[in-house]
Structure 1
Amino acid sequence: MSTLAESREVASGYRPGRTLPLRVELVRQLKRRRTLVMFGMLAALPVVLLVAFQVGGTPGGNSNRVSLMDTATVSGANFAAVNLFAAAGFLLVIPVALFFGDTIASEANWSSLRYLLAAPVPRARLLWSKLVVALGLSLAAFVLLPVVALVVGTVAYGWGPLQLPVGGALSTGTAAQRLAVVVVYVFVSQLVTAGLAFWLSTRTDAPLGAVGGAVGLTIVGQVLDEVTALGDWRDFVPAHWLYAWTDAVQPQLEWGRMIPGTAISVTYALVLFALAFRGFARKDIVS
């Protein structure tokens, strides 16, 4: 009995919950080149669109139907909304897949994973720290894009209400609230990609495999949503609800599509995160 008790003794002052603090992991990730490059790309997108509009002229004019893109040059708020519309389909998938898919797989690729666990950092603690930091970086990326777009758009087109494609306008205060709703929903809708990338990161030692796999499966989901023959089965495809946030840029805020879209995305994400924790707890770490 005494031998068993002695084998369970740990070093004085050791607290599993204090290993690998979030601050340390956050600083590590912020110093990585891929993080800086990704934030730089997102910050550059509004400038690229601004140059495109300056060179190509006012958007729209080729159709009798007015879309959100046609109102891009009306005000800074409209310019920010158009940037979200342009990026939500694919561009915003990349930082999520990168920040989550490059978590555990990169440590394994560098052969530092086993040394982290020997520090010792409990496996659940390691995953939790990586997960929280990846969530924080992804959210920061989603906030960065509309904020930069709002600044660039305001400088170029002035500060004003959000003009709606269907007619009418939202005051600046209401527009800010609606854009915040849009950012939150788009972020939540990408949690499926986050879960896929995180789970794959615990299954492979190749970061590009985890990132590419998550992006690829996300694209497959978007393709499946275009298959109308699937009928109501498309409701269970997360991509089916990807643009439900457009209900927030209407005269009256509608939740009818955003609520089921949120439920679908969160459900898939929780299952994938649970699979990642369960599989990693039993995995034989050799890298």
Structure 2
Amino acid sequence: MSGSTLADRTDAHESASGYRAGRTLPLRVELVRQLKRRRTLVMYGILAVLPFVLVVAFAIGGEPDGRGDRITLMDTATASAANFAAVNLFVSAGFLLVIPVALFCGDTVASEAGWSSLRYLLAAPVPRARLLWSKLVVGLGLSLAAMVLLPVVALAVGVAAYGWGPLQIPTGGALDAGTAAQRLVVVVAYVFVSQLVTAGLAFWLSTRTDAPLGAVGGAVGLTIVGNVLDAVTALGDWRHFLPAHWQFAWADAVQPEPQWTGMIQGTAISVTYALVLFALAFRGFARKDVVS
């Protein structure tokens, strides 16, 4: 018995001598798999089409006018390409950009379980932590790409429709085109960070269910609940602990003198929630009995 056991151990050691856990499920392989999926192409297509839809809407309805003495960012949408890109981010940050984040981070693990391929990936063998890490990094990468795609297309469409010029600030003043481009980079970065909570919710739910729609829908639904709670003024200062309360703090970055306090607070809240949710996902999946 002991000789047989020793031989088995020797064979196992020899067969696994070239095994490296860190080389399993490379990020490149996972990225290619996700890019080939139809939902990825459809989501990017929707985001790329939005600037064209807004241009047509402004062409049909005329240039936006101020509402009395109150002028908003929307009222300056056709002033320049920079204004048009900022408006695209403004109308999308609250809901539309939530969907790709929830989709790319919530569908990733649950879809493997739904296809009954998750257990085969783990039997490859791909360590559970490595599998989650690869899928999380790719999911966040695709989410960031979606947020970069929208303003880039909007800038290109805006240049063709309204010309390249300074970003007109609704409260008065303007930012030259170069400064405006830099501020828009900051805005995109902050929008991405503010959506990390949705990413964390979606990823955690993806490790808890075999239904991709449940993970994606759950993350979107909980994000909407957060927005609703932030609108309840009776909560007072408790709203400051809601990520939704800070989602438009990026508006402070497109001022003549940018204010960073709100963005710093929003970043701290979002990153804290996200880290907790990611940790719960890794901890729960490590102990999960995977049968799908």
The two structures have a TM-score, normalised by structure 2, of 0.96
1:13-92 equivalence runs, <5 A? 13-92=18-97
Aligned CA RMSD, in angstroms, stands at: 1.4
Specify the alignment match of 1:226 in structure 2. 231
Determine which of 202, 205, 221 is the counterpart of 1:200.
Answer: 205
In 2, distance between residues paired with 1:173 and 1:76?
A: 12
Alignment of 1:72-221 (within 5 A): 72-221=77-226
Equivalent position amino acid for 2:9 in 1: E
Which protein shows a greater Rg? 2
| CA drift at 1:62 | 3.4
- Give the aligned partner of residue 247 of structure 1: 252
Partners of 2:68 and 2:52 in 1: how far apart?
A: 26
1:211-234 superposed Cα distances (whole Å, 9 cap, x missing partner) = 000000000000000111111111
TM-score under structure 1 length normalisation: 0.98
Q: Which runs of 5+ in 1 are unaligned?
A: none
1:256 paired residue number? 261
Distance, in Å, in 1 between the alignment partners of 2:212 and 2:39 is 12
User: Residue type of the partner of 2:209?
Assistant: T
Structure 1 residue 60, shift from structure 2 partner: 2.2
Q: CA deviation at 1:12?
A: 2.9
Aligned residues: 287
- The residue number in structure 2 matching 1:6 is 9
Distance, in Å, in 2 between the alignment partners of 1:200 and 1:63 is 46
CA displacement 1:130-189 (0-9 Å, x = unmatched): 000001100000000000000000100000011100111101111011000000000000
> C-alpha distance in 1, partners of 2:131/2:144?
20
Note the C-alpha offset of 1:249. Answer: 1.1
Runs of 4+ in 1 over 6 A off after TM superposition: none
SS state of the match for residue 64, structure 1?
coil
